[in-house]
């Protein structure tokens, strides 16, 4: 038989910590996406390049082009 003691406070704190880490990761990802999107728009405006040319210049993977094109 196993000796197991449940500590509700520790469980809540662990869940809270995991949730905070997940939220921070999502926020960072959204911030990077928004930054790249603004960079694409800026290049398009200042150079008269197409969206694809701007994304290529920024080093964005071709597999991600559609994601950014939908947001422009």
Neighbours of 6 (CB within 10 A): 6
Query: Domain for residue 15, yes or no?
Result: yes
59 lies in a domain?
A: yes
Q: Say if 35 falls within a structural domain.
A: yes
68: Cβ–Cβ under 8 A, 6 or more apart, which residues?
A: 36, 37, 40, 51, 55, 60
Domain containing residue 45: 8-71
Domain contains 1: no
| Residue 2, in any domain of the structure | no
The 10s digit of each residue's pLDDT in 19-39 is: 899 998 999 888 888 999 999
In this structure, is residue 3 part of a structural domain?
Answer: no
pLDDT at 8: 86
pTM as predicted: 0.66
Domain count, the chain: 1
Distance CA 51, CA 18 (A): 37
């Amino acid at each position: 038989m196993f000796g197991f003691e449940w500590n509700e406070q520790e469980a809540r704190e662990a869940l809270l910590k995991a949730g905070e880490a997940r939220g921070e990761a999502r926020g960072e990802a959204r911030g990077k996406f928004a930054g790249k999107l603004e960079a694409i728009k800026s290049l398009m405006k200042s150079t008269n390049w197409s969206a694809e040319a701007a994304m290529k210049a920024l080093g964005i993977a071709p597999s991600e082009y559609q994601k950014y094109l939908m947001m422009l």
